[in-house]
Amino acid sequence: MNRFYRVVFLLAGALQLAAPLCAQPSDPRALTHREDPKMQAFVDELMGRMTLEEKIGQLNLLAVGFDVTGPVVSKDVDANIRRGNVGGVFNTYTPAAARQLQEQALKATRLKIPLLLGFDVVHGHRTMFPMPLGLAATWDMQAVEQSARIAAEEASADGLHWVFSPMVDIARDPRWGRVVEGAGEDPYLGSCVAAAMVRGYQGPDNDLAQPNTVMACVKHFALYGAAEAGRDYNTVDMSRQRMYNEYLPPYKAAIEAGAGSVMSSFNDINGIPATANRWLLTDLLRRQWSFRGFVATDYNAVNELTAHGLGDEQRAATLALRAGVDMDMVGEAFLKYLADNLKKGLVSPAEIDQACRRMLEAKYRLGLFRDPYRGISDKRAHQTMGRPEFVAASRDIARRSLVLLKNERQTLPLRKAGTIALIGPLARSQRDMLGSWKAAGDWQQAVSLEQGLRNVAGSAVKLMYAQGANLTADRRLFDQLNAGGELTFDVRPAEELIREAVQVASQADVIVAAVGESAGMTGEATSRADIGLPGRQLALLKALKATGKPLVLVLMNGRPLTLTWEDENADAILETWFAGSQGGNAIADVLFGAYNPAGKITMTFPRVLGQVPIYYSHKNTGRPALGDQNDKYKSSYLDVPNAPLYPFGFGLSYTTFTYGKPTLSKATIGPAETLTVTVTVQNTGNADGEEVAQLYLRDLVGSISRPVKELKGFQKVLLKRGERKTLTFRLSVDDLKFYNDDLQFVAEPGAFQVFVGGNSRDVQAADFTLE
């Protein structure tokens, strides 16, 4: 690493925020919110002067420009703003664009209420970080928070007030393309990540009046990740027990961290679409969780209640408002129908007032009534975007997100010598490195894998390249997914591409194959019914394997893939997700050993699709399979084992770690006591490295059946070669609590097991009892 980068890395380290320890998901005690009498008085006074039309205008959110993610677009945005018909706008940024929009609201409308400006800032704004599934794989809450903090600095300097993030949907079905946008399958880790993101966006003091903050929007409320068969927008049907224990905790954690807004999801929940679901948006969110911010719908979701079968758009507007929606995204059903619905007595003045009040409070909290521009200027934007320490943080965090899935005979790290055959359709892609929702990220500034290898290895290594395969064999799909991208479809016969790659590979010392999915194959509306490597990529790998050269896979993808052949045949596999602006450099740092990988997967990788949904915290069943496959009359398959290919929490390092048996401070604890779990971890290999020690719990006897393991704590530690550390975890009775059949949050006396290890499978156990 050259001196410049070393300095910048140090600066990036200094920018890290005070250690945000991940709090345990808490009990459902009502939250106390600070009342703000000044805000109340201000909003009362303003609303006292507003007409009905002006109030309804505040509930309307329009989209401008590009990135249309639904069947409709907003028309006449400027004219509507001037007529006072708009509360907020999304999909545009830059100080000039923000100023131009805001000026229209301020100059042309009677009450000069500023607009709320939003955008899908999901994993960075200009400086892009790894996709959220990769961010979670860092198990590093400081890194997660830092990525959101930097995104907030850039987004706010670009005129934005509001970001559609964090996406906290628990996801256990990799067919669903949106798994890449969240933190994976686990409620505990998901809650930690959700809270860290909110802190990053809204600032460490949660003071949105600071102009370098943005308001978070927790999405998609709720249970969107449980869409049947992994098909996007599909039905969700789920017991309340499962909701409360497994799917709701991350939303709640984000709200407890102070998130100012919530986005309702597209799916229905037990028959009632989220956007019309009063139990969800009012009873649970506001009454049980005491949420005080505002609820926006997802794109056109009010109008889509019609397709859900709930009646025409006029009725949909009533249902959504009465359920607890405050802001209508794009569909304009509130704008069109609420006044008439009021006349007809279908909604009340109080319901409209309440939604309007919440929108005005959000604007007040953001300081928009004091300074509608929140201090934007070209100078500030220029000084903020892509600062060297942001870029360094992006590289650092990207390195932390990479997961080493296999490494035989120390194939990795690579030596900086000899010839590398760089093969594969993703080897040169800059655009895919950014992933989906690239916000204002400029793909032309993203570092591809090839560029990264050159940057890190310089002339010490000879690099030879061949594409080897197209990302997909389906030309039409390729064009659709690569729209506006820089990839080209090689029209030569697939066999010819493979032959060329083999010829290149046979001249090299080692093959680095960059394979996986394009960014466009992941994210919204990208469900896949087959989660193997798309197109002819597996055929390419088989041909490369036949050369007998060491084969290193660099995977770029947004979901767990089925990798059985790859796992059996590759010498090394590095999972890199979509690693962001500095992706190529970060991957090269790991491949050449400048950084020892420490990421761990946060979604289980199945062996075959038929195992899906698959997750580590499953129930035991009445007939648990103890042995391998086809355990007759046990809960198993005839044709595959139950065990996944890579378990939740799994990831290798260039060194090895050995765990001692966990020891407990007591064999029995009372309801007011704390249990201390200590475990020694030793670095038993030949390199310094970081390890994520994970603590799981099993409640052996309960009033309802409980998962075989649940994550309840983790620590990421740096251990020098040969070093041993004793780690201490503390468990209180709150950690033993769960929602029982009456949805009471309780800890039940009886036997428990605690497990500690480096992933959810390879653990050692100890027993205790709760009195």
Taking the complex as a whole, the smallest distance from the CB of residue 120 to ligand NOJ amounts, in Å, to 5
Q: How far apart are CA 642 and CA 615, in angstroms?
A: 11
* Binders of ligand NOJ in range 147-176 (CB under 6 A): 164
User: For residue 721, what are its two tokens?
Assistant: 């070669």
Six token digits for residue 634 = 């046990």
Taking the complex as a whole, how short is the minimal distance between the CB of residue 735 and ligand NOJ, in angstroms? 32
Residues 96-125 that bind ligand NOJ (CB under 6 A): 120
- Residues in region 51-70 near ligand NOJ by CB under 6 A: 69
C-beta of 115 vs 393, nearer to ligand NOJ: 115
**CA-to-CA dists, residue 622 to 573, 697, 750, angstroms:** 37, 20, 19
Report the interhelical angle of 37-48 vs 349-365 (nearest 10°): 130
| Phi-psi category of residue 364: left, alpha or beta, with phi > 0 → left and psi -120 to 50 → alpha | alpha
Q: Which CB atom, from 298 or from 710, has the smaller least distance to ligand NOJ?
A: 298
Question: Closest approach of Cβ 119 to ligand NOJ, in Å?
Answer: 8
How buried is 345 (Cβ within 10 angstroms: 0-12 exposed, 13-18 middle, 19+ buried)? exposed
**In 173-247, where does DSSP find H-type helix?**
187-202, 240-242
Is residue 298 flagged as an active site residue? yes
Catalytic residue, candidates 120, 158, 169, 298: 298
Closest CA to 222 of 192, 189, 194, 258: 194
Helix (H), strand (E) at residue 731:
strand 724-731
What is the closest distance, in whole angstroms, from the C-beta atom of residue 123 to ligand NOJ in the complex? 13
Residue 437 in tokens: 């929702």
Upstream peptide bond of 413 is cis (omega within 30 degrees of 0): yes
Residue at shortest CB range from ligand NOJ: 164
Among 306, 225, 315, which residue's Cα sits nearest to residue 267?
225
As a whole number of angstroms, the distance between CA 528 and CA 513 comes to: 23
Scan residues 69-88 and list those touching ligand NOJ (CB under 6 A): 69
Position 387 contacts ligand NOJ (CB under 6 A): no
Q: How many residues bind ligand NOJ (CB under 6 A)?
A: 7
Contact 220, 266 (CB under 8 A): yes
d(CA 189, CA 192): 5
Q: Which of 693, 657, 699, 692 is nearest to 677 (CA)?
A: 693
Asked whether 671 and 732 are in contact (CB, 8 A), the reply is: no
Q: Do 705 and 763 touch, CB atoms closer than 8 A?
A: no
Closer residue to ligand NOJ in complex, CB, 298/432: 298
Residues 13-32 binding ligand NOJ (CB under 6 A) are none
Of the two residues 67 and 748, which places its CB atom closer to ligand NOJ in the complex? 67
Whole-number minimum distance, CB 185 to ligand NOJ, in Å?
Answer: 19
Distance CA 227, CA 94 (A): 36
Residue 524 C-beta: closest distance to ligand NOJ, Å: 5
Q: Please enumerate in sequence order all residues whose Cβ is within 8 A of that of 163, keeping only pairs 6 or more positions apart, or say none.
A: 118, 119, 120, 121, 122, 151, 152, 155, 201, 214, 215, 216, 217
In the bound complex, what is the minimum distance in angstroms from residue 486's beta carbon to ligand NOJ?
24
Within 286-305, the residues that bind ligand NOJ by CB under 6 A are 298-299
Give the residue with the Cβ less far from ligand NOJ, 177 or 425.
177
**Which CB sits closer to ligand NOJ, 168 or 573?**
168
CB 105 within 8 A of CB 86: yes
To ligand NOJ, the closest distance from the beta carbon of 362 in angstroms equals 16
Residue from 246, 524, 589, 691 binding ligand NOJ (CB under 6 A): 524
C-alpha distances (whole Å) from 387 to each of 156, 487, 540, 589, 595 are: 14, 28, 40, 21, 23
Measured from the CB of residue 233, what is the shortest distance to ligand NOJ in angstroms?
A: 9
Nearer residue to ligand NOJ within complex by CB, 298 or 575: 298
The residue (of 524 and 575) whose beta carbon lies closer to ligand NOJ is 524
Alpha helix ranges (H) inside 168-270: 187-202, 240-242, 249-256
Burial class (CB in 10 A: 0-12, 13-18, 19+), 468: buried
Q: How far apart are CA 592 and CA 98, in angstroms?
A: 44
**675 contacts 768 by C-beta, under 8 angstroms:** yes
- Choose between 93 and 755: whose C-beta lies nearer to ligand NOJ: 93
Supply the minimum distance, in Å, between the C-beta of residue 274 and ligand NOJ.
12
668-669 vs 663-664, strand pairing mode: unpaired
**Spatial CA neighbour of 215 closest among 278, 289, 165, 281:** 165
Least distance (Å) between residue 219 CB and ligand NOJ: 6
The binder of ligand NOJ chosen from 125, 172, 175, 219 (CB under 6 A): 219
| Site map (CB under 6 A) of ligand NOJ, residues 601-640, x = contact | ----------------------------------------
Contact criterion met (CB below 8 Å) for 767 and 752: yes
H/E run at residue 95? helix 95-108
Which stretches within 167-228 are classed as H helix? 187-202
Interaction with ligand NOJ in 704-743: which residues (CB under 6 A)? Answer: none
For ligand NOJ, give the closer residue by CB, 266 or 738.
266
Q: Is 176 or 390 the residue whose CB approaches ligand NOJ more closely?
A: 176
Rounded to a whole number of angstroms, the minimum distance from the CB of residue 82 to ligand NOJ is 24
Q: Which is nearer to ligand NOJ, 185 or 524 (CB)?
A: 524
**Taking a C-beta distance cutoff of 8 angstroms, is the pair 359, 316 a contact?**
no
CA atoms within 13 A on the CB side of 165: 33
Q: Which residues are catalytic?
A: 298
Binding site for ligand NOJ (CB under 6 A): 69, 120, 164, 219, 298-299, 524
